[in-house]
Chain A
Amino acid sequence: MPAIEANGLTKLFGEFKAVDDVSFEVPKGQFFGLLGPNGAGKTTTIRMMIGVLRPDQGNVRIMGVSMDREPLLAKEKLGVIPEIGNVYPDLTARENLELFGRFYGLTKRTRMERASALLEELGLGARSDEKIKRFSKGMKQRVSIGCAIIHQPQVLFLDEPTEGLDVQSRRMIVEKVNGMNKAGCTVVLTTHNIEEANRLCHRVCIINHGKIVALDTPERLRSTFEGARSVEVTFDRVVECGLFFDQCITRAEGEGNKLRFYTSDPDEAMNKIMQVRDDLGLTIISLNTLAPSLEDVFVKLTEMSA
């Protein structure tokens, strides 16, 4: 049984299809990334999976429990940091955590113990009993993650959890979530930060205009884009990109003496580069062949589906 099953999820806002027939499964313990440009439908997809928004078509199962038929039981199994994921500013950090624990039916003792431990872990031990009104955005988000995991959920949904945070908070949150994943928790993360997705996710789903355009491991997505491989060369002086015009080079970019050549055939491309070097009497200072970054894949795919 997969941790999450999404079947044909579709959501209309009036005439506009925000999410269009999205299906995927996330096996237990996987770190799953949901990527896409702004307005792609990531948040709407997450909202349907966590039972906040009812899909117009399709259904969701969390740990085998239908969100449509048993919403309370399904919601018990998950934890969420929504995009607008605020906690209660009038309560202290500890009160927030304990309140969320109450909604999940934790006993008073468990609530207190876990809240203390989590606050300590999230670097908020000293400020546990302060109203979070006065907290920075990063500290509020740390309280928010505490609230999302106080019941030790089997599935965790995070909608752009590190957007606009300070480095320390970002690192703490990523570390905590990664730790939970290592301990067996299934994680769904939406992010703009492709590097973050590349580093954390076992599998990513790229969506655009409400549709899935790719769904695979970061490595395989990169390797399907052989055309996006590149050679990066630094010469001893400034060179004009246009000189390297050739069939085997799909695109050349860069300024000054550091240039990047996109190619599906690095060998042919190197021949051409060496030819120009000899013709102009250049010296190569450094040379790298680069696999396509996930960002290249992302840009390519979203361009193709536009």
Chain B
Amino acid sequence: MNLKIVVRGVMATAVKDIKIYYKKPPVFIFGLILPTFLFFAFFVGRQLDMEKYYPGFLAMALFFTASSVGPLIIPWEKQAGTFERLLSLPVSIPILVLGDTIAGAGFGLIISLVIFAAGALLLPFPITLMAVVAIPLLFILGNLCFAALGVLLSSPAGPVPSNIMMLAALVRFPLIFISGIFVPLAEMTGTARIVTMLSPLTYLVDGFNHALGNGGALPLVLDLLMLMIFTVVFLLTANYILKRKSLKGL
């Protein structure tokens, strides 16, 4: 009985987010335009070996799109005065966190699959059994993980979306430099390697390197496991913070 209400609440929350927040300008800017811009800034015209860097770029694009919806929802709802109302419906904070995460992951999934399809046409990769198993898992786990990160970033929010967008940008930008996108993890040593191991994006980059035939620096199973662990940690932390901050700014 209760489980039914929970599932229903999660789905209704996700549907609401999809209807309202997929179309918001900040989602476009941070989710679509920014990764495209980064792609041109870092890769085009530099004679880089595209095959070597493509998995990293794919992971980076997925990371930005999946984490672009989450930071928007809660501050926007607080500002519009709909958040309190949402809390009076048969939902709870964990239900809202899950619903927002699924909506964010959905956006990331759609965009990253488009990029992946385009990339696969330009740079065909060997279709192995590992690729067939790993690619769907990486897309699902990666999108959930970074969507949960997006929700986590907005959990301490008051009613001012721009503050949180700023915070989200400040957290997300540095991550792309410590995730083995530009300098492969295998070539890193010492502190740089330790810092890189702390970034969740590292494991997606490494996972894509495995799946797209470049070979990773860590075992693929570890990559998947770490993405799962980060997802759970992000969800639990978001839930913890939001429970305390839910009425901030109301």
Contacts and interface: CB of A to CB of B under 8 A. Distances in A.
A105 B90 CA distance: 10
In this complex, the member of B1, B11, B85, B247 whose beta carbon has the largest number of chain A beta carbons within 10 angstroms is B85
A154 B163 CA distance: 40
- Label chain B's interface by main secondary structure: helix
B5 A76 contact: yes
A50 B90 CA distance: 10
Given A85-B81, A88-B82, A104-B89, A53 B5 contact: no
Given A99-B16, A105-B8, A87 B82 contact: yes
Interface in B87-105: 87-92
A76 B89 CA distance: 7
B190 to A, nearest CB: 48
B247 A72 contact: no
Given A86-B81, A86-B82, A88-B82, A102 B15 contact: yes
Given A73-B5, A75-B88, A91 B80 contact: no
Contacts of A50: 88
A84 B88 CA distance: 12
Contacts of A87: 82, 85
B2 A73 contact: yes
A72 B20 contact: no
Interface in A70-111: 70-73, 75-76, 78, 80, 82, 84-91, 95, 99-100, 102-105
A76 B90 contact: yes
Nearest to B9: A103
A51 B81 contact: no
B19 A82 contact: no
Interface in B80-132: 80-82, 84-85, 87-92
Contact of B88 (A51, A88, A89): A51
Nearest to A79: B88
Contacts of A85: 81, 85
Interface of B: 1-2, 4-6, 8-9, 11-12, 15-16, 19-20, 23, 80-82, 84-85, 87-92, 247, 250
Nearest 9 interchain pairs by C-beta: A86-B81, A84-B81, A75-B90, A80-B88, A102-B12, A103-B89, A52-B87, A103-B12, A76-B90
Given A75-B89, A105-B8, 11 more contacts: A53-B247, A71-B92, A72-B91, A75-B90, A84-B85, A86-B81, A86-B85, A100-B89, A102-B8, A102-B11, A102-B12
